[in-house]
Structure 1
Amino acid sequence: MNVVAGISVLLGTFIILFSELLLSIDIWAFLLTCKVRYCSLYDQGYTSIGSIHDTVPNALLGVNDSDNSKEKFRPAYLLPDGRLERAGRAKKCSPPVSGCFSSISNGLKSVDLHKNGMLKALVIAVGDEILHEILYRRYPFFLSYCCNRIGLHLRFGSIADQLGPSLCRKLCSIGWTVSQIAVVRNDVDSVAEEVERRKSENDMVFIYGGVGPLHSDVTVAGVAKAFGVRVAPDEEFEEYLRHLISDKCTGDRNEMAQLPEGITELLHHEKLPVPLIKCQNVIILSATNIIELDREWDCLIELTRSSGFLALVGAFVSKHLRTTLSDVETAQPLSKLGLDFPDLSIGCYRESRYGSLVISFRGKDEARVEAAAEALRKKFHPGAFNEIN
């Protein structure tokens, strides 16, 4: 045991001395003289290798070549000052939402959502304590199915979630369609798995809950893992936090200022105590109640109008009909109607098992919505449907 400990001490001493030696000489002179193999990216103008999201050729090594439109760069060892190597790291800001190819299908015919002016959003709630009250009260068996089928984890159900339904209404008000509401547990892997699987299927992902300094606040780390990047200190965000909770901070490092490296954009607004966090097409909301959500949403919409973070498309037009007809009587006509009006969302639900059936039509074109409702009326006797305001 003593021999192993002695070898470890000697090895550690050697590493320290060797590191000090390298620091005392020109590292590139050492690599080139000794012909040590290194990453080939350094020969293409890269000077600071990070993640795929924040690594770019160093502009200080650029070569002006008027005969060639493709930009060229000199090798990293020609950088005149080694202190400038971090110029090869830059945050790549994601463009405004535009061209994800999304589609919906009823099993018979797929519809390009963007062709119909629709954009898809996913809403994710993070928290073991969260219960989606609407699903639980109205569709307990469907909720149980979802938990098993698509990996939603509702462990305790001791808190009713009000933010999810409110956020869905806000998204619909600006013409977006919500593809799904997901609830995941306070676990980095659970958050990462859901975000990674869904971010490419949706134009935007909104995630709330699990933001803060507690052991269960894992949302930011989960988003970082979903994009394959690490969390790193963000000086700008830390400055905001310092003004808010400086007297409550302990230790040398503020864990709340650790953000996904290279993919984070801070969305500033004077009415927000701290900026909103945007990681490509994922927006992390820190709201914990309806009032805070309203404030964050209003600020986001204002920022959108000036900077285009979200696409504001035409609002939905809807019509609702109530009938006492049975499911069997309406099933086939509604299926046929879905084929005739693929650009509309046609849904139905019962207020109780033996109560009336409510049929809803939703789309961007008011004339199409009216036509679909009228087509359904014509399939049955007069007075079979009553319109609901």
Structure 2
Amino acid sequence: MTACNEYKLNQGPEDSISAVKFSPSTAQFLLVSSWDCTVRLYDVAANAMRMKYKHADPVLDCAFYDPTHSWSGGLDAQLKTHDLNTDQDTIVGTHDAPIRCVEYCPEVNVMVTGSWDRSVRLWDPRTPCNAGTFTQPEKVYTLSVAGDRLIVGTAGRRVLVWDLRNMGYVLQRRESSLKYQTRCIRAFPNKQGFALSSIEGRVAVEYLDPSLEVQKKKYAFKCHRLKENGIEHVYPVNAISFHGTHNTFATGGSDGFVNIWDPLNKKRLCQFHRYPTSIASLAFSIDGSLLAIASSYMQEQGDISHSEDAVFIRQVTDAETKPNVLCEWSHKQDSASAKH
């Protein structure tokens, strides 16, 4: 049963959902990639699928380059760009193994892909062509852009920070502060840091400034854990999405819940109702008014019967996503007192 302020998209994917991404210019359009080998474009205002295009194999990620062009990649290792006006696609290039991540960096005007072939590749969207291949220490599981910084999460709990203007060397090499495999990394809208999640019900908040004073602010917390019959069950945190205005973020877990967090005051602002199955992906719209929620079984328990894969569009309010002003004022007062 859905809440009155949300609805399920019609004509949803027919297999597991890998990513949901809103248009960079409007809350009206949403891209959805799926293991059914398609990328779909939805008009969420009309609750209608505008078009879909196919890959040869399951699609693992997609992204808008601009309002009329999408990019996508997956198990076929092919990177495609699709003109959403003419419904024509072009194969831009390939990786040597499945493409796991596709992101656009507007500050540098470059598309970024991360692959299980242990590389990140940059692509010039104007040509389009390969603008460089950069070796990573392990398979790329997740990546995010923060201004001209690229944050890459790989197997082995490694985190690398690159400068997209000069990819000649790695700016920072880190080990995740979480003990288990990295699942998702997303950069703060203010470009000062990032949130990182793991398969073991934890999220870390980290900062890019390497100074000791700033690094002291990083922290981690437990989430997406449920007690049933006196036993605590711990679930992977699969998805993170930041609210572009408030710098708060949503997390989605395999427990089927979505939580909204205030990272400055280290508080949970709210929790939505439980969704039918695991939360595979989340995306706030550009204006922060909508949250796309992919409820999609992620094979945590193998091939079993499960609820159908679906994308829900939820209207969110400031009460759910805006930091508590009193909490923020108290936090600043405490910090000021601690300095004296």
TM-score by length of 1: 0.23
TM-score by length of 2: 0.26
- Higher share of residues assigned strand: 2
